[in-house]
Structures are given as C-alpha cells and as structure tokens.
Chain A
Amino acid sequence: MKKSLKYTIIGAAILSLIGLGGFGLNLSKPKAVNVQASFDKIRTIEEATNEAENVIIGKVIKNEVAYNYVYGEPYPWTDSIVHIEKSFKGNLKGNIVFAQEGGLDKETNTMILLENYNVLTPEQQYVFFIRKAYIFDGHTEMENKYVSVGGPTTVYRIEGAKAKNVIMPELNKDFSEIEQIITKKIKNK
C-alpha cells in the first residue's frame, strides 16, 4: 500500500512538472489578441478585380518582422515576401513585399490579429487583389510595398480546389469559380 502511494506521488510530480512546463511554454508564447474591425466595404471578386492594379496567385516565402503603429492604428503591420506564381492582371513578376495588418507587437509580446486574421502562412498559396501602397506624411515604411484592396477581406487562401477567404468563411468559393470570375472581368473591361 505504501509503495503504491509512493508511485502515485512520483507520478503526480512527473505529470505536474510536464504540466508546469506546458504552462511555462504558454506564458512565453505571445498572447493573441483579437481586434474587432469594421471595413469600408466588402468587395465582391468582380469589384476587387476592378479595383486592384494586380491580381495574382502568390506563394508566401516568409514573413518579415512586424513593425509598429506607423499611423497610430491599433495594430502593427507585417510584411510578407510573396513569390508571384500567376498573374491575372498587371505584369508583376518575381517577388513582391505584401504589407498586411496585424502581427507581433514586440513591446508587449502580443500577437495582434485583425478579426482573427492570422498573418499569411509561409509556403501557402493565396489569391491577392493588390495595389501599390501609398506613401504619405513623409512615412517611407510602405515604399515599394503592396497592400490588398479591401484588406484581409480580399485575400483568399488556396486549399486544393477551394479558395478560402482569410476572415469571412461565407465568401469561400471554389478556386475554379474565382479564376473564372477574374478572367471574365478582365476580358470584359
């Protein structure tokens, strides 16, 4: 009986250490904070195609370190290096820098997500509707970068035959359908 109690205590100690280790890991991980947002409008594929300077399929190579609150907005921005795999509109080639809202706030070790939008995943393909970022107020952080027209609401993650909107599941479509709409819109212009 004494032996079994000893084993129970040892077992509890080992599992507790594992538990505490996991807790410690969680503590060191950035705390994720979801910022609720409102957007100027939710663009259809046709509207996004029309508004964008470039419509591309791109593969994310890597995410760069986020930079903070350039314009006083409540979220940092993160740059992704995106390799262009197909260009529907415009003639971009090679790699571009895609600037996106949200990312790691290093000062507070907080991962700030806009409407649960996690920054793009490396090695993942997306459909982007983009334009060159504006430079204003003397800020050069956005020089030679691209932003999504419509923000995250017009970024679609390609998963097999599906194109999944990164924040609004109700906008998910078959990839072939999106491709067809984009092609038709560009032809009819």
Chain B
Amino acid sequence: MIKKRKIALLLIVVLFSLMFVQSAFAWPGIGYVWQNPGAPQLRFVSGFPSDLQTAASNAAYSWGAYPLHTYIWGNNSSGNLNCTSYYNSNSYTSGTTYPAITLGYITGANIEINTYWSNSYSTLGKQSLVGHEFGHALGLSEYYADNWGLMVHSDATRNANETFQPRTSDINGINSLYP
C-alpha cells in the first residue's frame, strides 16, 4: 500500500515538473555547451563574402591558438557553424549567433554578419567580430566585467582596445565551460 502511494506521489511530481520543462528549454545561448567539444566546424554558406571567409578562418585559428578543450574546425560543406551575411543599414547589430540546441546541448549555430557594418572594418576588425560570434557559438555570453575581452558587446570597444583574438577572460570562460 505504501509503495502504491509512493508511486502515486512520484507520478504527481513527474507530471508537475513537466509543466516547467518548456520554460527550462526556452532560453538557449547562455550556459549551453557542445556535448562533443571537437564538433564545431565552419560552413561558409554560398554568398558569404571572401573577406569574411578569411576573417572566419583566422578567427577560428585564434580560438585554436590556446590549449582549450574545444576548437573550431575549418570550412567544410558539412560543417555545423553556418556562416552567412546580410546587409541592413537600419540595424545596429553587426553580427548575431542563433544557436541550435538539441537535448540541452549546442549542436550548431547560424552566424550572420551584417555587412553594412563589417564592410567598414579593418581585416582585424572583421576577425574580431566573427571571433566574437564564434565565442557565442562555443557557449559564451557577453562579459560585462572585462572591457578588454573578445566577448564585449561593442565592436568599437574591441577595435579601440585592439582585441582581435581571445584574451584571458575569454579563455577562462571557455575553460569553465569545458573543464
């Protein structure tokens, strides 16, 4: 009898918790990681400009320059980091990362660069912008505490500080996500 009651109570708890499952999955992008840290791989979608392709390759290399437990492979048609571009002068967003989350893990991302802004950036500025988006794709959010890091919101701040590749705060962030 006590066993049946326990089962009934367990049923209540399980079904009630289901109510909150959707909310728990509702905010991807922060705190999610790749299950396989060696899985991120670039894919240059048709039309992705050649200057941004160079920037993306260099940015991937810059993340790989540290002994991290995650890395980004170079361009491959079956890659899962889809790099695309668009042009919108009404938007002050220079780049975005739209992560794909499956069963609580990052399984890919769409990285989109607004060429209205990137076209005016130097080669290293473009690398910084794309590298910032790669940081998101690896699971990092913005760092408000460190104005010198690659994960600062503002392209202008990164460019002024000559932050074109990951710095200590970024590396620490990755190390905390992928110990």
Q: Which residues of A contact B (CB under 8 A)?
A: 1, 5, 8-9, 11-12, 15-16, 19-20, 22-23, 26-27, 29, 31-42, 70-75, 99, 101, 114-116, 133-134, 136-137, 142, 147-151, 153, 168, 170
B16 touches A73 (CB 8 A): no
* Chain B residue at minimum C-beta to C-beta distance from A116: B27
B154 touches A39 (CB 8 A): yes
> In the complex the two chains form, what is the Cα distance from A85 to B133 in whole Å?
38
The contact of A153 among B87, B92, B99, by CB within 8 Å, is B92
> In the complex the two chains form, what is the Cα distance from A185 to B79 in whole Å?
49
* Chain A residue at minimum C-beta to C-beta distance from B144: A170
The contact of A16 among B5, B15, B96, B133, by CB within 8 Å, is B15
For A40, the chain B residues whose CB sits under 8 A away are: 92, 94, 117, 154-156
A147 touches B90 (CB 8 A): yes
> In the complex the two chains form, what is the Cα distance from A26 to B19 in whole Å?
7
> In the complex the two chains form, what is the Cα distance from A99 to B92 in whole Å?
13
A39 touches B90 (CB 8 A): no
The contact of A36 among B4, B86, B141, by CB within 8 Å, is B141
B68 at the interface (CB under 8 A from A): no
> In the complex the two chains form, what is the Cα distance from A109 to B5 in whole Å?
40
> In the complex the two chains form, what is the Cα distance from A42 to B142 in whole Å?
13
Contact A27 B153, CB 8 Å, known A33-B98, A73-B91: no
For A73, the chain B residues whose CB sits under 8 A away are: 86, 88, 91, 93, 96, 112, 114
The contact of A20 among B15, B22, B86, B110, by CB within 8 Å, is B15
Q: Which residues of B contact A (CB under 8 A)?
A: 1, 4-5, 8-9, 11-12, 15-16, 18-19, 21-23, 25-30, 84, 86-99, 110, 112, 114, 117, 129, 132-133, 136, 141-142, 144, 153-157
B112 touches A74 (CB 8 A): yes
What is the interface of chain B mostly: helix, strand, loop, or mixed? Answer: mixed
A/B interface sample: 28 pairs, CB < 8 A: A1-B1, A5-B5, A16-B12, A19-B15, A19-B18, A19-B19, A20-B15, A22-B18, A23-B15, A23-B18, A33-B98, A36-B96, A36-B97, A36-B98, A36-B141, A37-B93, A37-B153, A38-B93, A38-B155, A39-B92, A71-B87, A72-B86, A75-B96, A101-B93, A137-B87, A148-B92, A149-B92, A151-B92
CB distance from B94 to the nearest CB of A (A): 5
For B15, the chain A residues whose CB sits under 8 A away are: 15-16, 19-20, 23
For B9, the chain A residues whose CB sits under 8 A away are: 8, 12
* Chain B residue at minimum C-beta to C-beta distance from A30: B26
* Total number of residue pairs linking A and B with CB closer than 8 Å: 149
The contact of A23 among B22, B93, B114, B154, by CB within 8 Å, is B22
> In the complex the two chains form, what is the Cα distance from A133 to B15 in whole Å?
49
> In the complex the two chains form, what is the Cα distance from A134 to B155 in whole Å?
22
What is the interface of chain A mostly: helix, strand, loop, or mixed? Answer: mixed
CB distance from A156 to the nearest CB of B (A): 15
Contact A36 B92, CB 8 Å, known A8-B5, A23-B19, A71-B86: no
The contact of A15 among B12, B21, B25, B84, by CB within 8 Å, is B12
> In the complex the two chains form, what is the Cα distance from A74 to B96 in whole Å?
7
Contact A42 B154, CB 8 Å, known A33-B28, A133-B90, A168-B144: yes
Query: When A and B form their complex, which 3 residue pairs have the shortest distance between CB atoms, in order from nearest?
Result: A41-B156, A26-B22, A22-B19
A71 touches B88 (CB 8 A): yes
A39 touches B153 (CB 8 A): yes
